[in-house]
Structure 1
Amino acid sequence: MRKYYLFNSFFILFILLISSTIFSCSSTKNIKYFQDIPDSGQMKTIAKAEYTEPVIQIDDIVTILVQTVDPLATNSITLGNVPIQSTSSVGLGASSLNQQISSGYLVNKQGFVDVPILGHIKVVGLTTTQTRELVLAEASKYFKEPTVIVRYANFKISVTGEVAKPGQYTTPNERVSVLDALAMAGDLTIYGKRDNILLVRENADGTKSPYRINLNRSDLMSSAYFYLRQNDIIYVEPNKSKVAATDINQAKTLAIIGSALSVLIVLFTRINF
């Protein structure tokens, strides 16, 4: 019985050591971005990605500012950018929701914003540049030489899966790339699958369109999906190493349980004999 116990303990220890050695080694080839760019020598030129301005959608929040020589003249329009409170969870394992305040005009279900003095303005389907020109034309009817600023107040992107800080991120800048979003989320973990990232994009009619992104290839920076749109979702799948790591943790747990049972069996046998 003692020989059996010793053999069983050494066997479990051997399995744990071998498993730890195999799964703790990670090749840099599996975690390196843009692998088709050489480490040295002449670097190739990467074509510029075509940037298309996103269009305003229903339930978007846009900040509209009209400025004149007399700031009091447009005070009601400025005050109309009512702070709208929203919630989003940012950070790995966040137990509470972080409060975010978006200041702007809410685009209603009919696609309009209600701006004091200027009235109902239909903005759905327009870019912020087009909306600025439209608001400027309306403001010029009431004010002399006004200056108009229009920008998103809730340009939000969700990043989830194998990243350091999964969550929803809001930015006033509408020119956001895939790399920008991953940087905001703290980059991929070592277990993130870099060659098959899922991008889910919301269409104007509310439907969703999935796309696949490969961070191993530099042509991503030239693709139509390099720049994101509001409400885009990026999901980073776990790679085989994550599955293997999960399996080895389960194996360790089973090994510890088995070892404990072996000790109990030996003790029980010695007590009875």
Structure 2
Amino acid sequence: MKKTIINYLFLLSFIVLSCKPKQNMVYMSDNQMEEQIVQAKFKGLNIQEGDVLLILVSAMDENAVKPFNLNTINKVGSETATGLNQYVQPSEYLVDEYGNINFPVLGNVYTKGLSKVQLKDHLESLLKKYLTDPLVTINLKNFNVSVLGEVKVPGQKESTTQKLNIFQALSLAGDMTDFGDRKKVKLIRTGDNGLEQVINLDLSRSDIVSSPYYYMKQNDVLYVEPDRNKQVQANSNPNRGLTFQIIATALGVATLIFSLTR
């Protein structure tokens, strides 16, 4: 009887210890939030090969600006003294493998590596040859990131804002699962030289907000590694946990019956 109870208590202790609180579940958990941490400055995005740019050119002379906008549409029902009032939609330009866009009248314009502000200034300077006080508006159409691994809704995500940080990207994927390791997150990013970089990030550290990789860039990939518990579970018998429960229950019942029959 005594030996049976000891065995039962040993098994019960093993089960309790195996259910210890899970680690690496809290973001920025290094208890340094009271210290002053400088947040990374958002510097905007650099244009990459394969980007789709939405560009609109405007000027005082509506007729002179027409050749520089591909999507000039007559607005029905609003005639003016000069004819139909015209509504102009931004035109789409694909950045080709050489980093160029094919712009009306101007021809190939190199854009790769430039920020939107730099490209805006460059186009306006080129258009001054044809227009008086041209104004160029540029937006990026395809701001997409991919979030994979231990997240609830993995896949490619489209952001409505280009100022997207790591935590906002994770929220687009429904946040990490309980098995995601916040200390082991990989960021895969294509550099200006066309080569892919793999950066290891620790989201349990509060100074992640000052990292140069805090803000996402278009076509970035975030991969959340599974924690050790998930890796062990994946490499073990999926029925092992149930087996432990059955054994523990059986021993408990046997011990109770034995003690009642004495």
**TM-score calculated relative to the size of structure 2:** 0.70
- Match in the other structure for 1:45: 36
More helix by share: 1
Please, which moves more after superposition, 190-199 or 222-231? 222-231
Alignment partners' CA distance in 2, 1:161 and 1:75? 48
SS at match of 2:182: coil
Partner of 2:229: 241
2:171 aligned with 1:183, yes or no?
Answer: yes
Alpha carbons of structure 1 residues 172 and 61: separation in structure 2 relative to 1, 3 Å: farther
Q: 1:75 to 1:22 in 2, by over 3 A?
A: farther
Distance 1:71 1:192 in 2: 55
Query: How far apart in 2 are the matches of 1:75 and 1:25?
Result: 69
Q: 2 CA distance for matches of 1:44 and 1:176?
A: 24
Match of 1:79 in 2: 70
Instruction: Give the total of aligned pairs.
Output: 218
| Other structure's SS at 1:241 match | helix
**Offset of 1:76 from its aligned partner?**
5.1
TM alignment of 1:127-206, pairs within 5 A = 127-171=115-159, 173-206=161-194
Report the aligned-residue RMSD.
Answer: 3.3
> Which one of the candidate residues 44, 52, 63 is aligned to 1:61?
52
CA distance in 1, matches of 2:105, 2:160: 25
Q: TM-score, with normalisation over the residues of structure 1?
A: 0.68
What is the CA–CA distance in structure 2 between the aligned matches of 1:24 and 1:254, rounded to whole Å? 15
Aligned partner of 1:35 in structure 2 is 29
State the 1:177 CA deviation: 1.5
Residues 24, 183 of structure 2: 8 Å contact kept: no
Q: Structure 2 stretches of 5 or more lacking a match?
A: 1-10, 73-90, 245-262
| Residues 30 and 143 (structure 1), Cα distance of their counterparts in 2 relative to 1, 3 Å cut | same
Cα distance, 1:206 vs structure 2: 2.4
SS in 2 for 1:196: strand
Change (3 A) 1:165 1:76: farther
| 3-state SS, counterpart of residue 194 of structure 1 | strand
Aligned-pair CA distance for 1:229: 2.0
Mapping for residues 69-108 of structure 1, pairs under 5 Å: 69=60, 74-75=65-66, 77-79=68-70, 104-108=92-96
Alpha-carbon shift at residue 75 of structure 1 (Å): 4.8
Cα distance in 1, alignment partners of residues 177 and 18 from structure 2: 15
Contact 1:60/1:154 (<8 A) preserved: yes
User: More strand per residue: 1 or 2?
Assistant: 2
Contact 1:23 1:245 (C-alpha < 8 Å) held by counterparts = no
> How far did 1:225 drift?
1.2
Q: Quote the residue 1:271 is aligned against.
A: none
Partner of residue 126, structure 1 = 114
User: Equivalent residue of 1:142, what SS?
Assistant: coil
Shift of 1:33: 0.8
Q: Distance in 2 between matches of 1:34 and 1:167?
A: 24
- Deviation sequence 1:9-41 (CA, Å, 0-9, x none): xxxxxx9xx86x7776643x53111112368xx
Rg (Cα) greater in structure = 2
1:24–1:135 CA distance, 2 compared to 1 (3 A): farther
Say yes or no: does 1:212 pair with 2:203.
Answer: no
Q: Distance in 2 between matches of 1:75 and 1:37?
A: 59
Find the aligned partners of 1:76 and 1:167 in 2 and give their Cα distance: 40
Question: Gaps spanning 5+ residues in structure 1: where?
Answer: 1-14, 82-102, 256-273
CA offsets 1:224-256 (integer angstroms, 9 cap, x no match): 11122222211000012223444363436889x
Question: For the Cα contact (< 8 Å) 2:24–2:204, is it kept in 1?
Answer: no
Distance 2:182 2:28 in 1: 10
Deviating more after overlay: 52-61 vs 245-254: 245-254
Aligned residue for 1:169, secondary structure, equals strand
Q: Aligned equivalents of 1:217 and 1:204: distance in 2? A: 28
**Which string of whole-angstrom CA distances, capped at 9 and with x for unpartnered residues, describes residues 36-65 of structure 1?**
2368xxx32211214443322222221111
